[in-house]
Amino acid sequence: MPFSSTHNKHKLKFSPEEEFPDLSKHNNHMAKVLTLDLYKRLRDKETPSGFTLDDVIQTGVDNPGAAPYDPIKTHSDPILIPYGRGQLGSHGLEWSPLRNRQGRGWVGVACRIVGVASSRWACPDVAPPPSPTPPAALNSLEGEFKGRYYPLKAMTEQEQQQLIDDHFLFDKPVSPLLLASGMARDWPDARGIWHNDNKTFLVWVNEEDHLRVISMEKGGNMKEVFRRFCVGLKKVGRGHGKAGHPFMWTEHLGYILTCPSNLGTGLRGGVHVRLPKLSQHPKFEEILHRLRLQKRGTGTGRGGGGA
């Protein structure tokens, strides 16, 4: 399991042929791209924190039907581009050119823009972060972003219930894909939820990514939701940058994130709309496929949801 780099150093005592995983029954992208020759060339490379190719492929090895970046991009790029990323490169965010079309058919119960960003220190595998901690950086926000942090380990039953009622609380990972990557390690230590007083701007700390920034509100004003997201994300980024913990970014991939589908801007958008009986339409699945949408539940607090 990729919780320590110690096992990787031990593996180097054995030949690549001995350590190369049996992928004969795997049908994920990792198995299609990884060859013995590639494994030989990359197995001894590691990030500054000791993360190696064996850590990268562990989830794919443990989950034959399933499928992170810089030291191993020879391996990761062929996966990311077919996955739907297209050309890899730098990205930017700008909200001002957007035109709000609320008066032209927007139907919304909730609109949310979800951005995901990682700061270098936040991995549970490394030593506790230096001060200021994420709550301190977030609690320094002012104006419309002024709010409070709720650590999972210390919240009261009343606070927990309120976060559930608001659909803000995230769950402990249970998927084999996520567990194989070590995402649930030491749960619920160092995890928490921060939101502003208006409950329109949220930050999940150490859920799937180190930080998950969410802007949301009822109604159809997508431009306002996105404006708040862009302004708030810049403030959060500046706060962590001043503390010496900038978001991880490369010219090649953009922002570095847990899931390959979020690389680049780290941005996902979702809209909850009421379309009576659409799900009963015989061509519902075909409609979603053509529009590149997914069916998602609206009763949970998971970010990015909604078809």
Q: What is the pLDDT of residues 206-248, one digit of tens each?
A: 888 888 888 988 887 888 988 998 899 889 888 888 888 888 8
Which three-class secondary structure state does DSSP give residue 203? strand
Does 305 appear as a known binding residue?
A: no
Is 129 found in the same domain as 79? no
125 and 175 share a domain?
Answer: yes
91 is in an annotated binding site: no
Report the distance separating Cα 34 and Cα 21, nearest Å. 10
CATH number at 166 reads 3.30.590.10
Q: Is 302 annotated as a binding residue?
A: no
**239: annotated binding-site residue?**
no
73 and 135 inside one domain = no
Alpha-carbon Rg for the chain, nearest whole angstrom, is 21
Domain shared by 259 and 137, yes or no: yes
Q: In the numeric block, which tokens belong to residue 15?
A: 């030949």
What contacts 202, CB < 8 A, 6 or more positions away? 168, 193, 194, 195, 196, 213, 214, 215, 216
* 241 phi/psi in degrees, rounded to 5: -65, -40
268 is in an annotated binding site: yes
Looking at the structure, do residues 153 and 55 belong to the same domain, yes or no? no
Q: Which domain covers residue 245, as residue numbers?
A: 105-291
Question: 300: annotated binding-site residue?
Answer: yes
Domain limit, last residue, from 85, 113, 143: 85
Q: Which helix (H) or strand (E) holds 164?
A: helix 157-165
To the question of whether residue 269 is assigned a binding role by annotation, the answer is yes
Is 212 annotated as contributing to ligand binding? yes
Domain count within the chain: 2
Whether residues 249 and 209 fall in one domain: yes
Read off the pTM.
Answer: 0.65
Return d(Cα 289, Cα 23) in angstroms, integer.
Answer: 30
| 298 is an annotated ligand-binding site residue | yes
CATH number of the domain within which 35 lies: 1.10.135.10
Q: Please check whether residues 141 and 23 belong to one and the same domain.
A: no
Instruction: Give the pLDDT means over successive 10-residue stretches in the chain (307 positions).
Output: 53 84 87 90 84 85 62 49 48 58 32 45 41 67 94 89 86 80 82 92 86 86 87 88 82 78 76 80 91 68 36
250 & 172 share domain: yes
Same-domain status, 144 and 277:
yes
Contact between 29 and 79 under an 8 Å Cβ cutoff? The reply is: yes
Q: What is the C-alpha to C-alpha distance for residues 245 and 139, in angstroms, rounded to an integer?
A: 16
Q: Is 254 annotated as a binding residue?
A: no
User: Is 270 marked within a binding site?
Assistant: yes
